[in-house]
Amino acid sequence: MNELQDFAIGQRWLSDTESELGLGVLVDVDERTISILFPKSDETRVYARANAPLSRILFKQGDWFTDQEGQEWQVENAENVHGVMRYNVVCPNGEQRKSMNETRLGANIQLARPLDRLLASQIESKEWYDLRIEALLMQSRMAISPLRGLLGPRVGLIPHQLYIAHEVGRRLAPRVLLADEVGLGKTIEAGLIIHQQLQTGRSERILILVPDSLQYQWMIEMRRRFNLQFSLFDLTRTASIKEHDEDTNPFLTEQCIIASIDLLLDHDDLKQQALDAGFDLLVIDEAHHLTWHEDPETGEGVGNDRYDLVAEFAAQTPGVLLLTATPEQLGVDSHFARLRLLDPQRFDTLDHFLDEEAQYSQTAQIAEVLMSDEPLTEQHQEILVELLGHEVEQDGEARYRAINELLDRHGTGRILFRNTREAISGFPGRDCIPAALPAPAHWPLTGKLREQMWFEETQLDGAWMEHDARLPWLMDILRKDLKHKKVLLIARSGPVVESLETALRIHGGIRTAMFHEGMSLLERDQAAAYFAEEGYGAQILLCSEIGSEGRNFQFASDLILFDLPANPDVLEQRIGRLDRIGQQNRIQIHVPYFVGTAQERMFRWYNEALNIFSNISPTAQTLQENHIVALKDCLLNDPSQEGQGEAFEALLEQVNAERMALEDELQAGRDRLLEFNSCRPKVAARIVKALEDQDEQNPLPDFMTRFLAATNIDFEEQSDGTLIVRPSDQMQVEGLLLDEEGMTATFSREQAQQREDAQYITLEHPFTNSIFEMIHTQSFGNTSVAVLKSAAIPQGSLMMEMWFRVEVIAPKVLNLAASLPQQLIRVLLNENGQDLSAKINSAMLHPYVHRLDMSNARQVVKLRREVIEERYKQAEQLAKAQVQSFSETARKRYNDRLQQEIDRLTYLKEHNPSIREDELERLKEQQAQGVQLLEQLSMVPDSIRVMVAMK
Ligand SMILES: Nc1ncnc2c1ncn2[C@@H]1O[C@H](COP(=O)(O)OP(=O)(O)OP(=O)(O)O)[C@@H](O)[C@H]1O
């Protein structure tokens, strides 16, 4: 078999990465894409023509194949007719000859049967055989592992993230709002979910829409941490695709795409094409920009353009992840509307939502009791009967189950995840360092708030700097206290940042970098990199407000707020650039303000009323909204005027008291419940432990070094434990994902996080997968003849070990293989046909098996051919019988597993309308389809080893 590059309809192709789909037929081809129908699994896939992971299947004279009716034929000769092969074939008894197109080939394809190879003296080395079996065993364990999709990512094991990933990543078509507080790892959670969805085949086409300033960061994060190659679609990219072919839909040329949401907002044609292309999973970052409100007059909902755009996509995409650290930033209306995007049936009207919110407190209170050691009183039991329909026993287990039941019925429980810093330890904390400066002589003390707060923004030429005390103050601290520090400065506007940067660089001789909306994306990323550079990098990065979202600057711990934003959530986003996972030091927040101006009052509002600098404040946004009118009054009016000063002091005091009361209330109430739902500590701890165990007992390092040595791939162990792996001229295998220039590899999670230049090699890394895939699809090590050193067995007699793979040909999305009791069957027979499979396992046999030189090995096969064939037939029969029982077990398991889920959802649906009807329907369909497909397991002979007993 070999590859032909020209495509023609009717050709047969096999997926390199998913051979279980069976043999596909090319059904459509155009300039950029090809479509392959896989009849066995009834799926059509569209691939980019340039890099389709497919192999053309061709047969040569003497090869055997099976046609669509299951009839076997041997090829006598073949000719190429307009790109499609026409085979002249003969049936096994030679009585019938005919000519048929390759289109008539059956979809089940068997590559290089091990027995045929063995009998043809194609004998492989003992090392290769051992490696093959180890790889198959690792792969089959992975297929049924609950950790699938969580092993590969280069991330630290952070419980709340793993909990969410585990909970959401396994869902079919997950639709959730990831709303952890700023900097707790929502991008990582989304990446973990995406990774699981892709690994298990639940999603294949993914679209990530982000603000344009975050596109590269997302692309890099997906590649660096998850080994996922997302393509960045901007105007240049889409235009260049269209240049080649006007009619191509660019969104069909790749499976995983990142684009700026503005690109689709500004270009209707692209938006339409993205909609037409269709995706399995949609991810929206910074989702607080999607806003919505109910028109008080008409009662109609009105969304902004972003909301409407996402609503269109969300309506036709099965999976949707929305990410925001500040879900209620723009009010409860928008929060409700975003939940409605995810589940329109459940969140039907705003009023209904508000009513329900009001009732959560009862649920929260009783959940609190259940979580504590407090005994359940009669009164508690009454509430529980009302909420759950039954009483709850006092023991821990029953209480835990009851909490789960409550959580399942809690309104947003299944779709909203919000972890807070309070619940997650390890953040070093923050200090506020105010700098009270004299106001410039003509600073406005009356008039518009905009001018009283940010007068510099009205002077685009930078003239304000001449009299602004913040500039000398800034130069001074950068030269003294912050001399050897990395400093992030954020101001609201681009022009202000530009003027400041020029002044610091030219007049202050300070190494600066800048980041604002007037710069190209590339320039911004370069600036961020210059700032991150140790040693010679910039001392200060000056950002406009766009730098306050999503970026990672936790290597710095000094933040200068050159001005204060109008909104507490925006302020939290700013601080969040530094106050993130990975921050090692207490964060120093420097806040200059002009004494006696609105700036001072704003500072005091944030500091004394909302207490936002020293702690993330979950109530700040709501409090500000509630007091916005009084606050505006106080900000606008000079406190030295009569009565104003007292009014402001009173407001600060009142709101501070309210804040503390509200925080106490939240503490006692609903947020604890939401927190518990967002991370159930026991479950999270179990996942972390399982991953730690896997890291500790990882079989991969040993396997990999032996594999590299056995296949002549160059590798060198470094003193720090990393490996440098390079392809060599003598390399004995093909098809591995290894670049010409090679790679630095590490197997250690810890090292992988420090050494980003090193590939983190895991069971899910593309390189490992390419080895497994090569083994799966090629004959690597699938025959072996060895010596069995044992005095207990008659000398010269044979023992045979044969492996068969059990495969389900089905759409990957059903994940049926996970229900098989095993994916491999091993049969061990002695020469007389005694079945020793159960008695002697591989590990027991291993120490007794030794190499046999090739010429003796060939002799053995030649002389003992009959016995070998006989035992092989027997093994096949034994394996077939097992496959039958596997099929029954798998059907029962699959059916039961889905039935449990269906029962749970049906039951919950009676109590909690947050269960979507289509979720239930989908499960039922999946159950029926899966059970049916599991009836037809196929058994593929994988490998064979003949052992000769010698002393
Ligand atoms: N499990 C992890 N292992 C290693 N690094 C992590 C992990 N989780 C988060 N980080 C790092 O912490 C920082 C914050 O993570 P991330 O950007 O995902 O947070 P976020 O919640 O999306 O932030 P924001 O609210 O600012 O958008 C990032 O630099 C990320 O790389």
pLDDT confidence of residue 667: 65
Place of tokens 């030649």: 862
CB 14 near ligand 1, within 6 Å: no
* Angle made by CA atoms 317, 323, 328, in degrees to the nearest 5: 115
- What CA–CA distance (Å, rounded) separates 234 from 520? 12
| 793 confidence band (pLDDT: 50, 70, 90) | confident
Kindly report, residue by residue over 495-508, the tens digit of the pLDDT.
999 999 999 999 88
Residue 564 marked in a binding site: no
CB 191 near ligand 1, within 6 Å: no
Residue 185 marked in a binding site: yes
| CATH fold match for the domains 159-343 and 422-678 | yes
Q: In the numeric block, which tokens belong to residue 865? A: 């051919």
- What CA–CA distance (Å, rounded) separates 643 from 640? 8
Q: With beta carbons less than 8 A apart as the criterion, state whether 59 and 65 touch.
A: yes
- What CA–CA distance (Å, rounded) separates 827 from 784? 15
Contacts 24+ apart (CB under 8 A), 434-437: 434/591, 434/592, 434/593, 434/603, 434/607, 435/473, 435/590, 435/591, 435/592, 435/593, 436/593, 436/595, 436/600, 437/469, 437/470, 437/473, 437/592, 437/593, 437/594, 437/595
Say which amino acid occupies 561: L
Choice from 182, 188, 760 to test ligand 1 binding pocket (greatest atom count within 8 A of CB): 188
Instruction: Determine the distance separating the centroid of ligand 1 and the alpha carbon of 195, expressed in angstroms.
Output: 16
Instruction: Determine the distance separating the centroid of ligand 1 and the alpha carbon of 550, expressed in angstroms.
Output: 9
CB 551 near ligand 1, within 6 Å: no
Say which amino acid occupies 756: E
Q: What's the mean pLDDT in 816-834? A: 90
CB 283 near ligand 1, within 6 Å: no
Q: Tell me the three state secondary structure of residue 608.
A: helix
Choice from 218, 552, 559, 755 to test ligand 1 binding pocket (greatest atom count within 8 A of CB): 552
pLDDT, the chain, mean: 88
Residue 184 marked in a binding site: yes
CB 818 near ligand 1, within 6 Å: no
Q: Tell me the three state secondary structure of residue 259.
A: strand
Instruction: Determine the distance separating the centroid of ligand 1 and the alpha carbon of 423, expressed in angstroms.
Output: 16
Instruction: Determine the distance separating the centroid of ligand 1 and the alpha carbon of 155, expressed in angstroms.
Output: 10
Query: Given the CA of residue 191, which atom of ligand 1 is nearest to it?
Result: 18
Query: Given the CA of residue 577, which atom of ligand 1 is nearest to it?
Result: 26
Residue 183 marked in a binding site: yes
Distance of CA 85 to the CA centre of its chain: 41
Q: With beta carbons less than 8 A apart as the criterion, state whether 38 and 810 touch.
A: no
Kindly report, residue by residue over 426-440, the tens digit of the pLDDT.
788 999 999 999 999
CB 164 near ligand 1, within 6 Å: no
CB 580 near ligand 1, within 6 Å: yes
Please give the span between the terminal C-alpha atoms of the chain, in angstroms, as a whole number.
42
Q: With beta carbons less than 8 A apart as the criterion, state whether 489 and 544 touch.
A: no
| Cβ-proximal residues to 696 (8 Å cutoff; 6+ apart), any chain | none
CB 186 near ligand 1, within 6 Å: yes
Q: With beta carbons less than 8 A apart as the criterion, state whether 183 and 160 touch.
A: no
Instruction: Determine the distance separating the centroid of ligand 1 and the alpha carbon of 857, expressed in angstroms.
Output: 57
| Cβ-proximal residues to 928 (8 Å cutoff; 6+ apart), any chain | none
12-109 fold: SH3 type barrels. (2.30.30)
Q: In the numeric block, which tokens belong to residue 450? A: 């905009």
CB 217 near ligand 1, within 6 Å: no
Say which amino acid occupies 574: R
CB 250 near ligand 1, within 6 Å: no
| Cβ-proximal residues to 862 (8 Å cutoff; 6+ apart), any chain | 121
Q: What CATH homologous superfamily does 422-678 map to?
A: P-loop containing nucleotide triphosphate hydrolases (3.40.50.300)
Residue 588: beta bridge partners? 431, 558
Instruction: Determine the distance separating the centroid of ligand 1 and the alpha carbon of 554, expressed in angstroms.
Output: 10
Atom 11, ligand 1: which residue's CA is nearest? 581
Kindly report, residue by residue over 2-31, the tens digit of the pLDDT.
334 578 999 998 775 566 688 899 999 988
The candidate with the shortest Cα–Cα distance to 148, out of 927, 818, 750, 889, is 818
H-helix or E-strand spanning residue 225? helix 215-226
Query: Given the CA of residue 161, which atom of ligand 1 is nearest to it?
Result: 1
CB 438 near ligand 1, within 6 Å: no
User: What percentage of the chain reaches a pLDDT higher than 90?
Assistant: 50
Residue 187 marked in a binding site: yes
The CATH number assigned to the domain with range 159-343 reads 3.40.50.10810
- What CA–CA distance (Å, rounded) separates 434 from 590? 6
Q: With beta carbons less than 8 A apart as the criterion, state whether 333 and 300 touch.
A: no
Instruction: Determine the distance separating the centroid of ligand 1 and the alpha carbon of 260, expressed in angstroms.
Output: 20
Task: Give the least confident one: 231-235, 242-246, 382-386.
Answer: 242-246
- What CA–CA distance (Å, rounded) separates 630 from 623? 11
DSSP letter at 424 equals S
DSSP 765-830: SHHHHHHHHHHHHS-TT-EEEEEEE-SSS-TT-EEEEEEEEEEE-S-GGG-GGGGSS-SEEEEEEE
- What CA–CA distance (Å, rounded) separates 29 from 31? 7
Q: With beta carbons less than 8 A apart as the criterion, state whether 807 and 933 touch.
A: no
Q: What are the residue boundaries of the structural domains of the chain, listed by start? A: 12-109, 159-343, 355-411, 422-678, 781-950
- Helices 644-668 and 350-371: angle between axes, nearest 10 degrees: 60
Q: In the numeric block, which tokens belong to residue 23? A: 């043999």
- What CA–CA distance (Å, rounded) separates 166 from 370? 24
Choice from 580, 687, 692 to test ligand 1 binding pocket (greatest atom count within 8 A of CB): 580
- What CA–CA distance (Å, rounded) separates 559 from 546? 15
Q: Is the pLDDT of residue 377 over 70?
A: yes
The candidate with the shortest Cα–Cα distance to 948, out of 803, 810, 848, is 848
SS3 breakdown of the chain: % helix, strand, coil, rounded to 5?
45, 20, 35
Q: What's the mean pLDDT in 685-693? A: 95
pLDDT confidence of residue 770: 94
Q: What's the mean pLDDT in 605-609? A: 96
Say which amino acid occupies 949: A
- Helices 644-668 and 670-678: angle between axes, nearest 10 degrees: 50
- What CA–CA distance (Å, rounded) separates 392 from 377? 10
Rg (CA), the chain: 33
Burial 420-447 (b: 16+ CB within 10 A, else e): bbbbbeebeebebebeebebbeebbbee
CB 183 near ligand 1, within 6 Å: yes
CB 184 near ligand 1, within 6 Å: yes
CB 224 near ligand 1, within 6 Å: no
Q: Tell me the three state secondary structure of residue 669.
A: coil
- What CA–CA distance (Å, rounded) separates 763 from 140? 11
Q: In the numeric block, which tokens belong to residue 780? A: 């690597």
Kindly report, residue by residue over 447-494, the tens digit of the pLDDT.
899 999 999 999 988 899 999 999 999 999 999 999 999 999 999 999
Kindly report, residue by residue over 43-88, the tens digit of the pLDDT.
898 988 877 767 677 777 777 888 988 888 988 998 999 899 999 9
Residue 186 marked in a binding site: yes
Q: With beta carbons less than 8 A apart as the criterion, state whether 622 and 616 touch.
A: no
Kindly report, residue by residue over 625-678, the tens digit of the pLDDT.
889 999 999 998 876 676 678 889 999 999 999 999 888 776 665 556 677 778
User: What percentage of the chain reaches a pLDDT higher than 70?
Assistant: 94
Q: Tell me the three state secondary structure of residue 250.
A: helix
Q: Tell me the three state secondary structure of residue 184.
A: coil
| 143 confidence band (pLDDT: 50, 70, 90) | confident
Distance of CA 778 to the CA centre of its chain: 30
pLDDT confidence of residue 758: 87
Kindly report, residue by residue over 899-947, the tens digit of the pLDDT.
877 877 787 677 656 666 777 888 899 899 999 999 888 888 999 999 9
- What CA–CA distance (Å, rounded) separates 442 from 434? 22
Q: In the numeric block, which tokens belong to residue 176? A: 């959730």
CB 161 near ligand 1, within 6 Å: yes
Choice from 158, 223, 549, 581 to test ligand 1 binding pocket (greatest atom count within 8 A of CB): 581
Q: In the numeric block, which tokens belong to residue 668? A: 């006692």
